[in-house]
Amino acid sequence: MTRREFITVSAAAAAGTLLPSCATAPAGRRQPRIPRWRGFNLSGGSRGTRALAYRETDFEWMAGWRFNFARLPLSYWAWSDPKDWMKIDDNALKPVDDAIEMGRRHGVYINLCLHRIPGYCVNGRELEPHQLFDSPPDQMQLALEAARHHWRHLAERYRDIPSSRLSFDLFNEPPWMPDQSRYVEIARALIATIREVSPDRLIVADGADIGQTPVMGLVDEGIVQSTRGYLPKMISHYTAAWVPAREFESLERPTWPMVDKNGVLWDREKLRAELITKWKPLTDQGAPVHVGEWGCLNKTPHDACLGWMTDLLALWKEAGWGWAMWNLRGSFGIVDSGRADVAYEDFQGHKLDRKMLDLLLAG
């Protein structure tokens, strides 16, 4: 058996062993168990281009480094159009088929997430003709029916691929919300739609409030909940123009640990309180948690970035949570990240942040 075959078989065996249910959810559906998946978001699909494509080298690299998870953030614009929500171009889904197959070949688990779903996207939601949230009921219903249509189509397309290789993340980063009732209503409808076609599909729902808050109203569904690792933003998103200034805890040059503008010390224990303890009511019910996105923009000084990452990884390892970094290649990643203060290693014609990679492997 070759090393690649061994990695593929071992990853599939681990998933198959751990995916069967364990604790019973309150309404009787048993909670899933998942491996401690670790890997990356392959982020090209989030922009919705019809030129979507995935690179086999990404899967080769991940498997070679012993990562076993790829989250694919997708925009429905890649196979449909906001002007005609109910029309789906099957040919445009071929790159997704290819990515799932590349995952199989290299022993990398695939999670499909609708980064943009009909009626909502965390970025530019106003570009949708009708909204899933905070709109007149008839418009929200139109958006929900379109969202259900797309998940039904994906569930049918991939119904023969087992949950040991493929899961569905309903949609990326629901908005900030005063209460979670509308989100629970949407999520339950999408879950039911998927399960009508694929009853055993492993399903993931992002936490409320841009993925940061557990959703107790979904505990009985027997799903995974996805959290985030972007706090504090003064570290993770330093100088990011797309983040409103009010969301930064400080605008000073980052260090780690760091005191914010209100005099609060951010260190490992502060991260524990914000990112782990907050989810304890959910995990106490047996619901699994996975960190669907995290990472640090390339403008943050490298030493501060690595110090912050060290504490996050230690906390998630202690909690038994897996994670998917945003991204593999690019400004948050370990390959071609464009940092000015890193001595990159040449890697197959690319620039590899070896210190960051070694840190991730240890975590």
Per 3-state DSSP, the chain is made up of helix, strand and coil in percentages (nearest 5) of 40, 20, 40
Question: For the segment 211-235, what is each residue's pLDDT rounded down to a tens digit?
Answer: 999 999 999 999 999 999 999 999 9
List all residues 6 or more positions away from 278 whose beta carbon is below 8 Å from its beta carbon.
212, 213, 214
What is the mean predicted confidence (pLDDT) over 279-297?
97
Hey, what domains does the chain have and what are their CATH numbers? 3-334 (3.20.20.80)
**Chain segment 161-203, per-residue pLDDT in tens:** 999 999 999 999 999 999 999 999 999 999 999 999 999 999 9
- For residues 295 and 41, is the Cβ–Cβ distance under 8 A? no
In this structure, is the dihedral angle defined by the CA atoms of residues 270, 330, 224 and 176, taken in order, positive or negative? positive
Rounded to two decimals, the pTM is 0.92
CA contacts within 13 A on the Cβ side of 38 = 15
